[in-house]
Amino acid sequence: MSWLFNVLFKYPGFVFRQGDFTFAASRTTMIVVGLAGLLAAVSLITYRRVRSDRHPRERAVLMAIRLALLALIVFCLFRPSLVLRAAVPQQNFLGILIDDSRSMTIADRDGKPRTEFVQQQFAPGGALEKALAQKFVLRYFRFSSSADRLSNAADLKYAGTATHLGQALERARDELSGLPLAGLVMVTDGADTSAETLDEPLASLKARQIPVFPLGVGADRFARDIQISRVETPRSTLKGTSLAVDVVVAQTGYAGSTVSLQVEDDGRIVNAQDVVLPPDGQSATVRVNFTANDAGARLFTFKIAPQADEQVTQNNARTAMVEVADRRERVLYMEGEPRPEMKFIRRAVSDDPNLAVTILQRTAEDKYLRLDVNSPDEVVGGFPKTREELFAYRAIILGSVEAASFSPDQLRMLADFVSKRGGGLLMLGGRRAFAEGGWAGTPVAEVLPVEFNGGARGPSTATAYFTRLAVKPTSAGAVYPVTQLADNAKASATKWEGMPTVTAVNQVRAVKPGATVLLTGTTDTRQDQIVLAYQRYGRGKSLAFPIQDSWMWKMDASIPVEDTTHATFWRRLVRWLVDGVPEPVEITSSIDRVEPGEPLKLTADVVDPAFVEVNDAQVLAQVTSPSGKTTEIPLEWTVSKDGEYKGQYIPEEPGTYSVKTTAMRDGKELGANTMHARASAGDAEYFDAPMRASLLTRVAEDTGGQFFTTDTASSLPEAINYSGRGVTVVEERDLWDMPIILIAMLGLIAAEWSYRRQRGLA
C-alpha cells in the first residue's frame, strides 16, 4: 500500500520520518489569522439563525464541518513544509554488503534463485546500481563467514557455508571509517549462523550514526518444504546402549503426509520410522530408538527423503556426533539380606561386557558376601566409608537394606554421590527399603523421586502392606528405551499386558514435582502404585523401583524359557543408571562441528577424586588432526568458575579431530578424557532458510536505517539520500499542495451539502 501513501501524501513515508515539520510563516500570517477569526464568527452567526425542531444539534454539525474546512484552508495558508537534509551528490560514500553464502542460491522467487535479483540490480549497469552511483561513491563488500572487499557484484561466487552478519558490519564500518559515510546497504536473506549476538555491532553503528539499510531477498515463507529442525542426542554413551533421540520435524505444504525418517550410522541404516507430518507451520517431535553398536566417534544422520516440488532439500537431514565408549562401568549393588532378586539381577547383567556390577550382600551383623569384585580389597570392610572410595563407582543400587545400617556420613555421601559426583542411584523395593526401612527424613530421601507416605516406619511393620501389581507403562514409559519392550510403542504395550504380576511391600503412590513416572502398577482393588520413577537431582539422577520380585518376569510359568525380557530390561536399566555420569576430567566444546579456520572453543571441568573442584591444576589438551599432526593446547583456569579451564584450537584441514585432555596437580594425574570434533563445511545456511524479515527490521531500527524488500527496493536510493548522514544540504518540501488536503476539502464540502439536503435546510 506504499504506492497509495505516495499518491495521497505526495512523498514516501520515509521523507516524513526523516524530515522536520515546520511552517513557512510570513508577515501576512497575522492577517490570515484575523480573517480566519472573522470568518469563524460569521459562521457562528449564520448557523445561529437556522430554524428547525432539532436545530441545536444541526447547528453544531454544520458549524463543525465549516470550521474543519476553515482549519484546512488556514493550514495551507501557513505553508506547511518538511525540512530535509539531502546528501550532496558524489560527496558521500555508501557501503554495499552482499551476502555471498549458499543460501542465496535457493530458488524461492517464482522458481528463480535469490541471486538473480542481485545480478539484475547490483551488477554493473543494474537499475539500483545506477541509481545509487548517481548519488554516492559505492564501495562493495562480499560476506559469508568472513567479509572482504569486492570490485562489483558480478564477482560473487555464492559458495559461503556460513553467514556472520555482525562480523560483516564491523568489517565495513572499519574499512570506511574516516570517510563521509551515508550508510550501509546489506543485501541478504537474513540468515545469521554465527553464535555471537548482533548487540555489540549494532550498538557501535548507532553510536557512530551509521544507518544500515537491509535489503531482504527471498520469500519470507516457503510454499513447500520439510525441515528437520533439531536433533537431541547425547554427547556420549556406552557401546550397545539403546538410544531414544527426539527429532523435531517442521513442514509447510505437506500436512498429513506420511514420510520415512531414517537413521544412519556412518552411512548404514540403523532404523527407519514412518512420520505423519504436522499441520502447516507447526513442528512435531518424533522419538526414534536405535542402538549404538560400534565404539568410537560415530556420526549419526537423521534424514527424510526429498519430496515432490520441495523448494529446499538440503534441510531434510541433520547430523550429530556421539562418543560411543567401549569400557566397563563400575556399579555397586548392596543388599541387606539374601533374596532371589539379587541373584536374577546379577544373572541379567553378567553377560554385558560393559557393566561391572559388584555385589555386596549382608549375611550377618558386619559380615558380607562379596561377588564380582574387581580387586581383593574392594568393599572388604563393607559399604564405602570415604568419598574417594564411593565416588569411584558410577552407580549405586540399594536393595532391601535399612537406613540404620549406614552412618550419617555415609547417608550424606550417598546424597552427594548423586548431586555432586553426578552418579546414578536406584532404590529397589523390599521390607527394609523406602519408609519401611526407615529412609524417610534422611538425605537419601531428599534425592529419591518419590514421596515417603506415612513417615518413618520399621521392618516390623512391613507386613502391614502387601499387594500384587499388574504393571503397565505410562505415556512417557511407552516410548522410553528402558521400558519399551518391543520395536514400537503399540507392540510394547501389548507385551506389558501379558507380563506376570509382581508384588510390593512398599506403599509408594506419589512422586515429587519434576519427577517422571515410567511404570505404574494396579492393585487388586484398582489402586495405582508407582513401579518405576526417576528425576534429575543435581548433576546426577535417582530412580525408585518399589517392587520386590521383578524376577517373576523371568520365572513365572507363563514366561517361555527363551524369553529375554527380564535380562533386557535390567541391562537397559543399569546402563541408564551409568549413562551421562561425568569423569573427573570432562572436556567439551559448545558445538561438535566448526568451519575450517574457525576456532574450536574447548572447556574442561576438573575435580579431584572426592569430586571437589580444582583450580590449581595443569590442564593440557592434545589435539590430533585427521592427518596425524599433534598440537598441544594449554587450558587456563577461567577464575569466574571453580574447576573450569578454557582454551581454543583453530583447525585448518577438514575431518575429525581427536582432543585428549589431561589434568595434573603436584605431579599426579587427576584424570584424562577424550572428545572428538569435526571441521567441515556446514549446512546451517539451509535451515530456517526463508528471508528473516524480523531480524533485518531490527538491524534497521537499531541503527536508524530502514528495511526494504525486493518489492520496495526502488525507494532505497531516495531513502538513503535523505537519511541526513554524511555531507548534506538543506532542502524544503512543501506540504500544502498534497492531494490528501484537496480530497479532505472536497469531502467536507460534500458532507455539508449532503447533510443540509438530508435535513431540508436552505
Q: Which three cell numbers stand for residue 708?
A: 526494504
Residues in a beta bridge with 398: 334, 427
Average pLDDT over residues 698-726: 90
What's the pLDDT at 26? 64
Give the pLDDT of residue 25: 62
This prediction has a pTM of 0.79
pLDDT score of 736: 77
Of 723, 683, 716, 720, the closest CA to residue 217 belongs to 716
Q: How are beta strands 80-87 and 728-734 bridged, if at all?
A: antiparallel
By the 10 Å C-beta count (0-12 exposed, 13-18 middle, 19+ buried), 629 is classed as exposed
Residues contacting 632, CB < 8 A, separation 6+? 620, 621, 622, 623
Q: Mention every residue, 6+ apart, whose C-beta is less than 8 A from residue 661.
A: 585, 587, 602, 604, 619, 620, 621, 622, 635, 672, 673, 674, 675
Band the pLDDT of 44: cuts 50, 70, 90: low
**Nearest-angstrom CA–CA distance, 702 and 609:** 51
* pLDDT, average across residues 521-537: 94
Return the C-alpha torsion angle 442, 444, 445, 449, nearest 10. Answer: 170
Instruction: Look at residue 41 in the predicted model and tell me its pLDDT.
Output: 63
Confidence of residue 554 (pLDDT cuts 50, 70, 90): very high
| Statement: residue 19 has pLDDT above 90 | no
CA within 13 Å, CB half, 345: 30
**Do 388 and 609 contact (CB within 8 A), yes or no?**
yes
Lowest average pLDDT, out of 63-77, 232-246, 526-540, goes to 63-77
645 forms beta bridges with 604, 637
Q: Supply the pLDDT for residue 748.
A: 85
Please, what are the domains in the chain?
A: 2-85+732-759 (no CATH), 89-215+691-726 (3.40.50.410), 225-325 (2.60.40.10), 329-578 (3.40.50.880), 585-679 (2.60.40.10)
For residue 161, pLDDT beyond 50? yes
Those residues whose C-beta lies under 8 Å from the C-beta of residue 484, and which sit 6 or more positions away, are 289, 473, 477, 478, 492
Residue 251, SS3 per DSSP: strand
Structure confidence at residue 28 (pLDDT): 61
Q: How far is CA 154 from CA 124, 523, 570, in A?
A: 7, 77, 64
Dist CA 366 CA 36 (whole Å): 110
**pLDDT classification of 67: cutoffs 50, 70, 90:** confident
At residue 110, the pLDDT reads: 81
- Helix, strand counts (H, E) of the chain: 18, 37
Mean of all residue pLDDT scores within the chain: 89
Distance of CA 175 to CAs 145, 227, 724, Å? 17, 38, 21
Q: What is the pLDDT of residue 409?
A: 96
DSSP string, 27-81: TTHHHHHHHHHHHHHHHHHHHHT---TTHHHHHHHHHHHHHHHHHHHHHHHT-EE
Classify residue 514 as left (phi > 0), alpha (psi -120 to 50) or beta.
Answer: left
Q: How far apart are CA 128 and CA 121, in angstroms?
A: 5
Q: Are β-strands 502-504 and 630-637 bridged in parallel, bridged antiparallel, or unpaired? A: unpaired
pLDDT tens, residue by residue, 297-314: 999 999 999 998 899 999
- The 10s digit of each residue's pLDDT in 95-154 is 999 999 999 999 988 888 999 999 999 999 899 999 999 999 999 999 998 899 999 888
Average pLDDT of 369-385?
Answer: 93
DSSP 206-237: HHTT--EEEEE-S-SS-SSEEEEEEEE--SEE
pLDDT of 316 > 90? The answer is yes
What's the pLDDT at 76?
A: 80
pLDDT band, residue 460 (cuts 50/70/90): very low
C-beta of residue 316 within 8 angstroms of C-beta of residue 322: no
Query: What average pLDDT score do residues 163-183 get?
Result: 93
Which of the two residues, 489 and 563, has the higher pLDDT score?
563
Under the banding of pLDDT at 50, 70 and 90, the label for residue 450 is very high
Q: Residues 625-682: pLDDT tens digits?
A: 999 999 999 999 999 999 999 999 999 999 999 999 999 999 999 999 999 999 998 8
How far apart, in whole angstroms, are the C-alpha atoms of residue 83 and residue 463? 93
pLDDT value for 420: 95
- When mean pLDDT is compared across 106-120, 196-210, 283-297, 747-761, the lowest value belongs to 747-761
Confidence of residue 461 (pLDDT cuts 50, 70, 90): very low
Q: Return d(Cα 314, Cα 227) in angstroms, integer.
A: 9
Supply the pLDDT for residue 747.
87
Q: Nearest to residue 262, comparing CAs of 324, 325, 319?
A: 319
Would strands 107-109 and 668-679 be described as parallel, antiparallel, or unpaired?
A: unpaired
Q: Report how far residue 218's alpha carbon sits from residue 713's, in angstroms, rounded to the nearest whole number.
A: 13
Residue 48: pLDDT band (50, 70, 90) is low
Q: In what order do the strands lie in the sheet with 395-398?
A: 367-371, 355-364, 329-335, 395-398, 424-428, 540-545, 528-537, 516-522, 467-473, 502-504
- Angle, alpha carbons 316-318-321 (nearest 5°): 165
Give the model confidence (pLDDT) of 584-635 as tens digits: 999 999 888 888 888 999 999 999 999 999 999 999 999 999 999 999 999 9
Q: Which of 469, 617, 635 is nearest to 549 (CA)?
A: 469
| pLDDT band (50, 70, 90) for residue 42 | low
Residues facing residue 538 across a β-bridge: none
User: Can you give the pLDDT at residue 39?
Assistant: 66
